[in-house]
Amino acid sequence: MAPEFLQAALGFAALLGLIALRCPVGLAMLLVGAGGYVWIVDTGVLLNYLKTTPWHLFANYTLSVIPLFILMGALAERGGLARDLFAAANALVGHRRGGMAMGVIGACAAFGAVCGSSVATTATFGRAALPELRRYGYDPGLATGTIAVGGTLGILIPPSVILVVYAISTEQNIARLFMAALIPGVLAALLYIIAIFLLVRARPALAPAARRASGAEARQALRNVIPVLLIALVVVGGIYGGVFTPTESAAIGCIATLAVGLARRSLGLRQVREALLATAETTAMIFVILLGAEVFNAFLALTSAPELLAMWIGEQDFPPYGVLGLLLLAYVLLGAVMDELAMILLTLPIFFPIVTALDFGLGGAEETAIWFGILVLIVVGIGLTAPPIGLNVFVVSSLARDVPIARTYRGVLPFLAMDLLRLGLCVACPGLSLWLVRLLA
């Protein structure tokens, strides 16, 4: 093995070892990256690097969009907007067999337009919808599985914190990535609804029909969701129409969500304080991971292993889609055992040069980068629900302690099949991701 690859391999082995010992992912990457830096160069150079890198990293204006989108989602959660969305969806389709579960998917998709976090979406609907699903006799595995996969729509439907991090790491346009994510995100919601329809058709006992809402109840429920739908329209539509930058749109979304909560008296001083604290904690965690990844990736750059690997693959004349398939398989496997954000930041310095060096017949390197970003987003969503870890499954299990986690994993299997189908469609038809980008460019 070449010394460059040996150094990189030892670095990855040390990193995985620290993660296995339950060291926080961001800290593990920071420690291994700093150690590798000293190993290859010396301590003085590392200290000079650390003197300027954190400032340049965190002073990046684009990063401000992350806490703003997180805050918008936290305010929406505590302001009861998720409950209103579920009530409206339930009023429309809850009387059908499996309709409440379909309503959860639809509500999660709408909530995803104001919340860029998968875990937050899962926790919010776990509290808002899970008791109702259980009360009407839904199978516990189907109920918890629906909540878990519905939560992934928090990142699949723009805006998405994961896409923001991808855009910053690969120097891509955030607005274009948001455009590219819309059709695959909507496709995810439709396929989840189809999965529920097929399940309850085959096994009607899984999901009894609920009470039909009266006309007055349905109209009131629909009126209650007008504010959140308007917020989503302004936030996402403003970005797509070029009216706002993503950062400006996130700021406007925060103000609008706060105003709606205060006007409806669903947000008080305590809820706003909780939202601010949750935003600070989540942002701090993300920024530590960003710093750790920056230092670890600097160590990898010193080894030259990523560039050499990309050059070697390019020289072998491998089929581009064969290489892409192997990279996506690696993402699925890694996403099942480690934090999704850390996985992206850890692998992009290696995988991204490989993908952009291949010829997929698209309109240049930018389109390839955007398309690959959406594929990465899809496999991240798979990792959030796939065994043996599946972070969303653990979030739901913490709210439904009487449901064995193995039962929840069985509940998400039909949805995972739909995820793999969607991944295959987006790989085979890049236009699903790029059509809106090309239309609005």
- For the chain, the domains span 24-440
Q: Is 338 left (phi over 0), alpha (psi -120 to 50) or beta?
A: beta
Distance of CA 130 to the CA centre of its chain: 21
Write the DSSP symbol of residue 69: H
Residue partners of 167: CB distance under 8 A and separation at least 6? 62, 173, 174, 177, 373
Q: What per-residue confidence (pLDDT) applies to 26?
A: 84
Contact 114, 227 (CB under 8 A): no
In the structure encoding, which two tokens stand for residue 33, read together? 């990256």
How many other CB atoms are there within 10 angstroms of residue 2's CB atom?
A: 12
Per residue in 259-275, pLDDT (tens digit) is 988 988 888 889 999 99
Residue of 118, 166, 115 whose CA lies nearest to 331: 166
Residue found under tokens 């060291």 = 23
Q: What per-residue confidence (pLDDT) applies to 361?
A: 82
Q: What per-residue confidence (pLDDT) applies to 2?
A: 63
How much is the pTM? Answer: 0.87
Residue partners of 332: CB distance under 8 A and separation at least 6? 379, 382, 383, 386
Residue spans of the chain under pLDDT 50: none
Q: What per-residue confidence (pLDDT) applies to 1?
A: 52
Rounded Cα gap, residues 356 and 227, in angstroms? 41
Q: What per-residue confidence (pLDDT) applies to 376?
A: 92
Q: What per-residue confidence (pLDDT) applies to 337?
A: 67
Contact 157, 69 (CB under 8 A): no
Contact 228, 260 (CB under 8 A): yes
Rounded Cα gap, residues 43 and 31, in angstroms? 13
